[in-house]
Amino acid sequence: MTTQPLHDRDSDRRIIHHLETQVSRLFSAEAALHRLIDVLGITTEPDADGRYDLAALRAQAQDAIVERSVEQALNVSPSPAILTASGWPMSLTFPTWRCIDDRDIAQALSRICRFGGHSRQFYSVAQHCVHVSEIVPREDALAALLHDATEAYIGDLVSPLKSMLPAYKAIEQRLWSAIAQRFSVDPVLPASVKSADLQLLATERRDLLPDSPMEWPCLEGVEPLEEPIEPWSPDIAALAWGLRLDELLAEREVA
């Protein structure tokens, strides 16, 4: 008869190894946490049991990372970034909603001419966005006003060229995601915005571009608006865009 040992030494060794591994991971995690706190300059202190308020820690870490990103951008960071009118840098690689300022959007869009500047008169992207927001259903107006807001940061490329530049489209999509988050709109544009955009494009072609037999397949079957477009100055366009934004945001708060 074989006597079973009271203790399985191999099992004990496995348990001890497991515990040592867990302790090692715990110390590594704690060391990493303290290193992160030290590097980012976080001031949150642990409680009496040595535990941190994770929500406060996360908030301070996010703020510290954003501040560090700003410092890097101002110091000509390797990450491509632009300096906006408000003095706030915007990363084109990792844009964040925290850097989105509606005043930057209003100013930039009001000074960008549609159609690459080939219209008979100066006609801004800001005015275009205001008009699109006026012809969609009310619930889609905010998305319509913002639908070209990415151009405040990367310009308004003419559509045929834009379709040839997949990298541009990827950057545009990242910026749009940040803008949608900043203003709490669905990143998927409503169908009404796309339809209104085309209707206004047909109107702009009629009122602002030279007469030409050139075909625009995207406008097939699209009827322009009856009322003609009267271009605004950049200052008026910026003011109108900002007032329209305030109006739509106020309506949403009431609702």
Residue 71 within any structural domain of the chain: no
Dihedral sign computed on CA atoms, order 156, 157, 158, 160: negative
> Which residue range forms the structural domain that includes residue 223?
89-254
* Helices 125-135 + 234-254 axis angle, to 10: 40
Residue 29 within any structural domain of the chain: no
Residue 77 within any structural domain of the chain: no
Residue 10 within any structural domain of the chain: no
Pairing between strand 81-83 and 89-91? antiparallel
To which residue do tokens 């515990």 refer?
19
148-185: pLDDT as tens digits: 999 999 998 888 888 888 888 899 999 999 999 999 99
Q: Report the number of distinct structural domains present in the chain.
A: 1
d(C-alpha 21, C-alpha 176), whole Å: 44
List the one residue out of 99, 62, 106 whose CA is nearest residue 83. 99
Phi, psi (rounded to 5 degrees) for 82: -120, 155
CATH of the domain at 108: 1.10.3210.10
Please give the angle made by the CA atoms of 140, 141 and 145, to the nearest 5 degrees: 125
156 token code pair: 């308004």
Residue 39 within any structural domain of the chain: no
Q: Where are the alpha helices (DSSP H) in the chain?
A: 9-40, 54-74, 102-110, 125-135, 141-146, 151-154, 159-162, 166-182, 191-208, 234-254
Residue 164 within any structural domain of the chain: yes
Residue 12 within any structural domain of the chain: no
30-70: pLDDT as tens digits: 555 665 666 566 666 777 777 767 677 667 766 666 665 55
178 token code pair: 């940040």
- In this structure, the chain runs to a length of 255
Lowest mean pLDDT among 168-177, 198-207, 235-244: 168-177
235 token code pair: 């200052």
Residue 98 within any structural domain of the chain: yes
pTM: 0.70
pLDDT of residue 208: 97
